[in-house]
Amino acid sequence: MLDSVRLRLTVWYTAAVGVVLILLACLTYFLYARNIAQRTDSNLVELTDAFATTFNAELPDEIGPDAPVKAAREAMLEHRFRGVVFVFQDAEGQPLLSSLDLPAGAMSNEHLTPEMFASPGFRAASSLAGSPRPFRTIHIGRNGFRAYARPLSAAGRTFILVVLQSRRPQRELLDDIRSTFLLIIPIALLLAGFGGYFLARKSLSPVAAMASKARTIGAANLHDRLGVANPRDELGQLAISFNELLDRVEESFERQRRFVADASHELRTPAAILRGESEVTLSRPDRSPAEYREALTVLRDESQRLAHIIEDLFTLTRADAGQYPISLRDFYLDELASDVLRHARSLALAKNITLIPSIEPELLFHGDEALLRRLLLNLLDNAIKYTPAGGTVTLECKKSSAQYIVSVTDTGPGISPELQSRIFERFFRADKVRSRSETDSGGAGLGLSIARWIAEAHHGRLELARSDASGSTFSVTLPASQS
Ligand code: ADP
C-alpha cells in the first residue's frame, strides 16, 4: 500500500503534524497545571492573610482562655468559601475548631470528615507551619486538597491554622483541557491527512502525466516531448532533463539510422559492380582468357573494396559499443612510423610521389601497435591518394614536452574551409562523385573517423592542423606519459 509516493507523503505529513500537536498539547497541559497550582497556593496565602486579620481583630483586649477559639470561629464565619476548610489547631497539632463544625452551608467539603484531620497526610501538612514552603497536597477523596499551614499567636500562645482548598476546580479544568485535546487532535489529524493527500496528489499529478506520456514515446514518435508545466520547479526540471535525454536518444538514433542507411548505400555500389561484371562476363559463353582475366581483376578489386568497407564498418560498430579489443604493449613509435613508410612506398612510387621521413629516434610508446599502424596508414594513404603526381608527403614523428606528435603533410589541393569541419564525419567525402568513380581508390569516407577513434582510444587526438591550396597537415597528438 505504501508503494504510492502520495500515500507515503500523506502518512509522513500526518505523523509529523501528529507529533507536533501532541507535543503542543502536553506542553499546554503542563503549563496550565503549573499555573493553576501556583494560583491555588497564592490564593491560600491570601485567604490565610484575611483570616489572620479578622482573627487578630476579633481578639478582645482581655484575652481569656477561650478567646482565640472564639476569634477563630468569627474569622471562619466571615471567610466562608466554597471548597475551603479552615482548621484551627493548638501548637501540638490537635484540632480545636474547623469550619466543618460550623452551621451547615458554610462550605462544600467534599466528604471531608473531622476524622481525616488525624490522617498522616494532614498531620504532615500541619507540621509544615512556619517552614519556608508550608504547602502540601493531601490525597483525600477523588480530587484531594491543597493545604497551607501557618502559625498564629494569641495571648502568648501559638496556634496553627491549616487552610485546605479542594483541588476539584483545578482537576475539572485540566480534565476539560484534556478532553478538548483528545477531541481536537484526531480531528486535526484527519484534516491534515485529507489535506496532505490532496496536496500530494495535486503536486504529483504532473509526474503521473509525465509517466503516461513517457510510456507512449517510442521509436516511431521519438520527437515527442513531455510538457513542462513550470520550468523553475523540481518537476519542471525533471521534465526538462527527461526531454534532454530524449534529445540525445533521438540524436543517437538518427545517427545510427543514417549510419545504417549510408552503410547500405556504400555496400550497394560494389555489390552492383560485382553482379553486373559477372553477369556481363557470363552472358557470352565463349570469352577469351584475357577477357576472363580482366573481369576477374575487376571482381577481385571490387570484392577487396567491399571487404575493406565491411571491415571498417565492423571496426566502427565495435568501437561504438566499446567492444573493440585493444591490446596494449610497449613499442617504438619511430620504428612503427618507418615501417608504415616502407609499406606506403609502393603506393607513392606508383603516383610518383616523394615520401619524406622526419622521425626522431627512441620514441617509446605504450599502446595498441596494430591500431596505430592502421591510423598512420590511413593518413598516409589519404595523403598519397589526394596529392597529385610529383608531389611530396612528409611523415614527421617527434616528442614535444609530454606529448608525441605525429604529422602527415602533403602537397595536395587541400580541403576547402567549409568542409574541413566535416571530414571526420562518417561516410563523408569532399568529392563524392570523383571518389565513387575511382573505384580503385576504395574510400567510403570512414578512414578518418576510424583514425580519430584510434587516437582518442589512446587518450590522444587527431586534427587537421592546416589545409590550404599548398596542401594539408593532419596531426596526431598522443600522451607520452602512456609509455
Ligand atoms: P576516404 O575513404 O574518402 O578517404 P576519409 O575519411 O579518409 O575517407 O576522408 C574523408 C574525406 O576527407 C575524403 O573523402 C577527402 O575528401 C578528405 N581528405 C582526407 N584526407 C585528405 C587529404 N590529405 N587531402 C585532401 N583531402 C583529404
76-111 pLDDT, tens digit per residue, is 988 888 888 899 999 888 899 988 888 754 455 566
pLDDT at position 140 is: 77
- Compute the average pLDDT of residues 275-293: 91
User: What proportion of the chain, given as a percentage, has pLDDT over 90?
Assistant: 61
Give me the sign of the Cα torsion angle 132, 138, 143, 148: negative
Give the global pTM.
0.61
* Ligand 1 pocket member 427 (CB < 6 A): no
306-341 pLDDT, tens digit per residue, is 998 899 999 998 998 888 999 999 999 999 999 999
* Ligand 1 pocket member 423 (CB < 6 A): yes
Query: pLDDT tier at 465 (50, 70, 90 boundaries)?
Result: very high
- Compute the average pLDDT of residues 430-459: 75
9-46 pLDDT, tens digit per residue, is 999 999 999 999 999 999 999 999 999 999 999 999 99
By residue count, the chain amounts to: 483
Cβ-contact 108, 82 below 8 angstroms: yes
The pLDDT mean for the chain works out to 89
pLDDT at position 105 is: 47
- Compute the average pLDDT of residues 343-354: 93
CA dihedral (409, 413, 416, 417) in degrees, to 10, reads 40
DSSP 323: -
DSSP 445: S
- Compute the average pLDDT of residues 286-301: 91
Considering only CA atoms, which residue is closest to atom 12 of ligand 1?
Answer: 423
- Compute the average pLDDT of residues 360-380: 95
pLDDT at position 328 is: 94
Residue 431 CA, closest ligand 1 atom number? 16
- Compute the average pLDDT of residues 190-197: 94
* Ligand 1 pocket member 435 (CB < 6 A): yes
Q: Which residues are paired to 145 by β-bridges?
A: 138, 166
Cβ-contact 76, 96 below 8 angstroms: no
* Ligand 1 pocket member 471 (CB < 6 A): no
The mean-pLDDT minimum among 1-10, 220-229, 363-372 falls in: 1-10
CA dihedral (323, 329, 333, 336) in degrees, to 10, reads -80
β strands within 270-422, DSSP E: 329-332, 354-359, 364-367, 392-400, 403-410
Name residues whose C-beta falls within 8 Å of residue 187's C-beta, 6 or more positions apart in sequence: none
Higher pLDDT, 483 or 455: 455
Name residues whose C-beta falls within 8 Å of residue 165's C-beta, 6 or more positions apart in sequence: 40, 43, 44, 47, 83, 84, 145, 146, 147, 148
- Compute the average pLDDT of residues 356-378: 95
pLDDT at position 452 is: 96
Q: Which residues are paired to 163 by β-bridges?
A: 86, 148
- Compute the average pLDDT of residues 229-240: 88
The best mutation among 408, 429, 470 to test binding of ligand 1, ranked by most ligand atoms within 8 Å of the C-beta, falls on 429
Name residues whose C-beta falls within 8 Å of residue 297's C-beta, 6 or more positions apart in sequence: none
Name residues whose C-beta falls within 8 Å of residue 110's C-beta, 6 or more positions apart in sequence: 83, 141, 142, 143, 166, 168
Pairing of strands 392-400, 403-410: antiparallel
Angle at 470 between CA 443 and CA 451, to 5 degrees: 35
Other Cβ atoms within 10 Å of 126 Cβ, number: 23
Write out the three cell numbers for 413: 589541393
* Ligand 1 pocket member 448 (CB < 6 A): yes
- Compute the average pLDDT of residues 162-166: 91
pLDDT at position 110 is: 61
| pLDDT of 226 above 90 | no
* Ligand 1 pocket member 411 (CB < 6 A): no
